[in-house]
């Protein structure tokens, strides 16, 4: 481990990227504690003590506690994430956006601009909804909003939208000049920021005698087992063999090469649990604004986290979104057409329709396993916490995000370190010698790129 850190520090480009990422995350964490005006924070903190099982609690976790603090970063990175998912889905269904997606870098730049505009719209709508909801909250004898009215709503919308756009800018800068995916790293930072308070909570419960060291040890063992399982599944993939035909380019003849097409078990990532959690928490969230609605009271009690109807619906929604989002991300017909144009084929499978049908069959089976894995990961902690009467549990969604982002970031660091090692071993060579050595190392297979 010490050698890895020393290699990161010695490599100038990687060192700058890591330091830039840490600096941007420091700016983000400082902004969490910049308060937005017009709110009684003591009353708001009391209100949030009972909101862990609502959409507010989920949003507060992803924002790193900004919602509880009611800071200028209340909305966090979630409007940008939501806008990105919506644009991705529309790009698969709307012909004009699909053409932009296929245009390459210029088309993607236009889609990114649409994503930014949609982020601002979502931020304004969400901030106005939050401001209106806060005006109706009463904790004891005091109101949460000091001076309700359109002045407070407009100020809140402007403040929150500006904060969300700034976080979006931070995420893009981290992705471009830092290391890893900026949006994912910002979400992970918000989740990790709650770690010290969880440790302090566990210590307090041990002192009060509500849990013992054996239960804490069992929880830690369970966490390590879950993390190991996540790493195993996220790294798992089905490698579909591909054979490329021999090609003649000018005076050069390139023999056919054998490669593979990797199909991940969990191709949808963490999107299904987030969407499913958001939908299931809508009834309990609506109860905060309409406390006297009888129908909402019954629905809120039926879909309370840990209830059998909640767990069944959670599993069903996760499976549905896993298939839905995978279908949006991976199109077997497009992959089959690209393979046919490049002269590639799957052994014992005809190019074209049979290749698309074969890939669709494989992807359906893999997605089934990935959906079950996501459902077990997200529902099992809730069931164990209820049956074993544990005073706290670790959420599968947050652990999945942390492990996934860590694997992605570490992979990018290792790729840059491998580039350094390769350049050190190969040494400086003339262009002609480097080309000949590269062709010799490939054994004359495949075109040199």
The three-state secondary structure class of 312 is helix
122: closest CA among 90, 84, 95? 84
Identify the weakest region by mean pLDDT among 113-122, 355-364, 408-417.
Answer: 408-417
Q: Which of 126-140, 301-315, 367-381 has the highest mean pLDDT?
A: 367-381
For residue 60, the cross-strand partners are none
Q: What is the pLDDT of residue 433?
A: 45
For the chain, the average pLDDT equals: 77
What is the tens place of the pLDDT at every residue in 300-359? Answer: 677 666 677 888 888 898 899 889 888 877 888 888 888 888 778 888 888 888 989 999
For residue 225, CA distances in Å to 92, 383, 396, 434 come to 37, 16, 12, 46
282: closest CA among 100, 73, 56? 56
Mean pLDDT of 241-258: 70
Tell me how far apart the alpha carbons of residues 252 and 254 are, in angstroms, rounded to a whole number.
6
Name the CATH architecture for the domain at 213-449.
Orthogonal Bundle (1.10)
Tell me how far apart the alpha carbons of residues 221 and 21 are, in angstroms, rounded to a whole number.
31
Tell me how far apart the alpha carbons of residues 162 and 123 are, in angstroms, rounded to a whole number.
9
Asked if 16-194 and 213-449 have one fold, the answer is yes
CB 181 within 8 A of CB 408: yes
Cα pseudo-dihedral 302, 304, 305, 309, rounded to 10: 10
Confidence tier at 434 by pLDDT (50, 70, 90): very low
Is residue 49 pLDDT above 50, yes or no?
A: yes
Is residue 446 pLDDT above 50, yes or no?
A: no
Tell me how far apart the alpha carbons of residues 218 and 225 are, in angstroms, rounded to a whole number.
10
Q: How far is CA 9 from the centre of its chain?
A: 28
Topology at the third CATH level for domain 16-194 = Preprotein translocase SecY subunit (1.10.3370)
Percent of the chain with pLDDT over 90: 6
What is the tens place of the pLDDT at every residue in 200-247? Answer: 777 777 787 777 777 778 778 878 888 888 888 888 888 888 887 766
What are the domain boundaries of the chain?
16-194, 213-449
């Amino acid at each position: 481990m010490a050698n890895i850190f020393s290699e990161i520090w010695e490599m100038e480009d990687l060192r700058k990227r890591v330091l830039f990422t840490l600096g941007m995350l420091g700016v983000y964490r400082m902004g969490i504690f910049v308060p937005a005006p017009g709110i009684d924070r003591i009353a708001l903190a009391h209100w949030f003590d009972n909101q862990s099982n609502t959409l507010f609690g989920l949003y507060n976790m992803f924002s790193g506690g900004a919602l509880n603090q009611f800071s200028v970063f209340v909305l966090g990175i979630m409007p940008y994430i939501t806008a990105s998912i919506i644009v991705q889905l529309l790009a698969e269904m709307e012909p004009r956006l699909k053409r932009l997606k296929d245009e390459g870098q210029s088309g993607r730049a236009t889609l990114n601009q649409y994503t930014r505009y949609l982020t601002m719209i979502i931020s304004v709508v969400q901030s106005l909804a939050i401001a209106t909801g806060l005006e109706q909250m009463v904790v004891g004898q005091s109101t949460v909003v000091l001076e309700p009215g359109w002045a407070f709503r407009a100020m809140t919308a402007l403040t929150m939208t500006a904060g969300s756009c700034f976080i979006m800018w931070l995420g893009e800068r981290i992705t471009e000049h830092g290391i890893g995916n900026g949006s994912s790293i910002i979400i992970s930072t918000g989740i990790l920021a709650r770690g010290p308070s969880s440790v302090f909570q566990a210590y307090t419960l041990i002192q009060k005698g509500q849990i013992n060291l054996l239960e804490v040890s069992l929880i830690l063992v369970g966490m390590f087992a879950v993390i190991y399982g996540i790493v195993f599944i996220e790294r798992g993939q089905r490698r579909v063999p591909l054979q490329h035909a021999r090609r003649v380019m000018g005076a050069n003849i390139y023999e056919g090469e054998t490669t593979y097409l990797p199909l991940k078990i969990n191709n949808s990532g963490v999107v299904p649990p987030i969407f499913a959690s958001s939908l299931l928490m809508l009834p309990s969230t609506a109860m905060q604004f309409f406390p006297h609605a009888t129908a909402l009271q019954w629905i809120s009690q039926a879909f309370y986290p840990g209830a059998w109807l909640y767990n069944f619906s959670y599993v069903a929604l996760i499976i549905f979104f896993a298939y839905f989002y995978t279908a949006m991300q991976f199109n077997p017909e497009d992959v089959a057409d690209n393979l046919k144009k490049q002269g590639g084929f799957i052994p014992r499978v005809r190019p074209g329709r049979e290749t698309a049908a074969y890939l669709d069959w494989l992807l359906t089976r893999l997605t089934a396993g990935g959906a079950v894995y996501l459902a077990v990961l997200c529902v099992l902690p809730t069931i164990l916490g209820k049956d074993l009467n544990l005073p706290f549990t670790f959420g599968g969604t947050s652990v999945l995000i942390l492990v996934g982002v860590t694997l992605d970031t570490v992979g990018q660091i290792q790729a840059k370190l491998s580039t350094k090692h390769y350049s050190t071993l190969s040494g400086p060579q003339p262009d002609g010698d480097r080309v000949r050595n590269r062709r010799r190392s490939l054994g004359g297979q495949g075109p040199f790129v």
